[in-house]
Amino acid sequence: MTRIYVPRDSSALALGADAIADAIQREAAARGVAIELVRNGSRGLLYLEPLVEVEAGGKRIGYANVEPQEVSALFDAGFVDGKPHARCVGVVDEIPYLAKQQRLTFARIGLTDPLSTDDYVAHGGLEGLRRALTMTSAAACDELIESGLRGRGGAAFPAGIKWRTVAQAHADQKYVVCNADEGDSGTFSDRLVMESDPYVLIEGMAIAGVSTGATVGHIYVRSEYPDSIATLEEAIRRARAAGWIGDDVLGSGRRFELFVAKGAGAYVCGEETALLESLEGKRGIVRAKPPLPALAGLYGKPTVINNVITLATVPIIFAKGAPFYKHFGMGRSRGTLPFQIAGNVKQGGLVELAFGVTLRELMFDYGGGTASGRPARAVQVGGPLGTYLPESQWDIPMDYEAYAAVGAVVGHGGLVVHDDTSNLADLAQYAMEFCALESCGKCTPCRIGSTRGVEVIAKIRHGDTSEKQVTLLRDLCDTMVSGSLCAMGGMTPYPVMSALNHFPEDFGLETVQPATTAAA
């Protein structure tokens, strides 16, 4: 019996994977070929989706960009035995795009059926949780601090320090909250974890729970990700049935319950305090800090709040130990980051590599250049609140500090490539429009500043390039950076200022004044 894999994550589904799976079943039955169809997760090589794999000779042979109507021809060509066909891309593990990666957090994606508990354990699952259950709370937090893991959601705060703060807090109830409100354009790594390896997130949250004394966890997923929600809910049900979570975590006598909460389309709920408000059922309005969520978070109780990738990286750190993880990376950026190559690129997908790789390598060695075939012009790194980097900055190593030194942010490692037809003034105005649309309205610089920002940029674009308008825009951005409560208003100036500084010609400006704001 031949095992055939057809992915079930939403990228594959959006390109017709269900119809392909049906066609394969139908065709196999009609031809009397015995197959076992596995609906695996995505391998992260999204440019190849839908990527059908056939197990032949102990290897997995890939057939890329398959269309449902081609299934019959694939059978004719003998794809069940891994025979050649125009769609064949060879042994998937040997494709350089994948082979050159350093997959730690994403070690399992695409290899397994995301909902199979047996697959999960067979691929090294639960080793981290088992080890964490033997450790004291202090030792577990020290392990995480030692690993150097920093928050992967964008803020890059040391995860272990956060955990220790929660562990040392005294309260009758503590919580673990997973921020899965992945609203940034150019990011999909959280989604890939939830849809392609949900148990790694569940395990990471359970480790966070037993290490800090939190007995209840919530995963807050954006409503735009219905497939992630469905997969997580089923995975949680199965994990509970298997005794991995619940009243007696792996027979340890420890308790950890886990629930999924659905967002409702508010971008700002990706900010941790707005997320907590939303999780409590209220409007997602940003809270002033302090108090820190680690001391007064969900319902005022000590709360570990981490992004999906941070929590999904925890199991491998506990399974292999902090020194193993710390060995990857550079400077104070330890470990790996799952980069997401998106936008105008030929080969978009997930590329997990140690810190230190450059944008140019990611864009060209992996991304293969632009999809349009035109020269790339600007790359926005770190989501809608990240800066636009011109070619002169494409060789800076991906490192939190190296990026900060030029006023940029690595963020969650999402990159959106724009070709030479892009208009950066248009994108800058859009950044302000988006901020105006999504601002929670609590603080004035963000609520009013964004609308004023749209107006000033529009004026400049309509030909009022007087020094006064440009000064006004810089001054406004300065106020937003310094005076906003959270990153929504505080970082919207990053794309705006970088567009203005590096691409003044798009604004109709010939020269540009030297940057005076925090954001370059």
Partner 1 sequence: MNNKRIYPLEEHHLDERTVTAPDELVRRHLQPGRTLLAVLHAIQDDVGFVPPATVVPLAKAMNLSRAEVHGVITYYHHFRSEPPAAVTVQLCRAESCRSMGSEALAQHIESHTGCRFTQHRHDDADAHAHGGRDVALESVYCLGQCALSPAMTINGTLHAKVTPQKFDALFAAAMATAAHTEEAA
Residues within the interface to partner 1 (CB under 8 A): 10-11, 13-15, 46-47, 49, 182-188, 191, 223-227, 261-267, 278-284, 340-345, 348-350, 371, 380, 384, 414, 416-419, 422, 427, 430, 434, 437-438
Helix/strand/coil for 35: strand
Q: How far apart are the first and last CA of the chain?
A: 59
| C-alpha distances out from residue 56 to 1, 31, 72, 81, Å | 10, 19, 19, 6
Least distance (Å) from partner 1 to the CB of residue 349?
A: 5
Give 176 or 416: the residue with its C-beta nearer to partner 1.
416
Helix/strand/coil for 353: strand
DSSP state of 114: T
* Tokens, residue 195: 């849809």
Contacts of 72 (CB under 8 A, 6+ apart): 23, 27
Least distance (Å) from partner 1 to the CB of residue 280?
A: 6
Give 282 or 289: the residue with its C-beta nearer to partner 1.
282
Least distance (Å) from partner 1 to the CB of residue 342?
A: 4
Give 260 or 460: the residue with its C-beta nearer to partner 1.
260
Q: Which residue, among 376, 369, 372, 400, has the nearest Cα to 386 in the 3D structure?
A: 400
Least distance (Å) from partner 1 to the CB of residue 309?
A: 14
Q: Are 309 and 190 in contact (CB under 8 A)?
A: yes
Q: Which long-range contacts (CB under 8 A, 24 or more apart) does 232-241 make?
A: 232/194, 232/198, 232/201, 232/260, 233/260, 234/115, 235/114, 235/115, 235/198, 235/199, 235/202, 236/198, 236/202, 236/260, 238/115, 238/117, 239/117, 239/199, 239/202
DSSP 164-176: HHHHHS--S--EE
Least distance (Å) from partner 1 to the CB of residue 162?
A: 24
Helix (H) or strand (E) holding 211: helix 198-212
Q: Are 320 and 327 in contact (CB under 8 A)?
A: no
Least distance (Å) from partner 1 to the CB of residue 10?
A: 6
Give 235 or 351: the residue with its C-beta nearer to partner 1.
351
Query: 33 φ, ψ to 5°?
Result: -95, 125
Least distance (Å) from partner 1 to the CB of residue 293?
A: 18
H, E, C per residue of 404-455:
HHCCCCCCCCEEEEEECCCCHHHHHHHHHHHHHHHCCCCCHHHHHHHHHHHH
Give 335 or 495: the residue with its C-beta nearer to partner 1.
495
Give 12 or 111: the residue with its C-beta nearer to partner 1.
12
Q: How many CB atoms lie within 10 A of CB 228?
A: 26
* Tokens, residue 35: 């197959």
Measured torsion, CA atoms of residues 206, 207, 212, 214, in degrees rounded to the nearest 10: 0
Least distance (Å) from partner 1 to the CB of residue 188?
A: 5
CA distance 167 to 162: 9
Measured torsion, CA atoms of residues 492, 498, 501, 502, in degrees rounded to the nearest 10: -150
Give 140 or 408: the residue with its C-beta nearer to partner 1.
408
Least distance (Å) from partner 1 to the CB of residue 158?
A: 27
Give 416 or 480: the residue with its C-beta nearer to partner 1.
416
Give 263 or 493: the residue with its C-beta nearer to partner 1.
263
Least distance (Å) from partner 1 to the CB of residue 499?
A: 12
CA distance 415 to 413: 6
Least distance (Å) from partner 1 to the CB of residue 457?
A: 16
- Tell me the β-bridge partners of 216: 175, 257
Give 28 or 177: the residue with its C-beta nearer to partner 1.
177
Give 153 or 186: the residue with its C-beta nearer to partner 1.
186
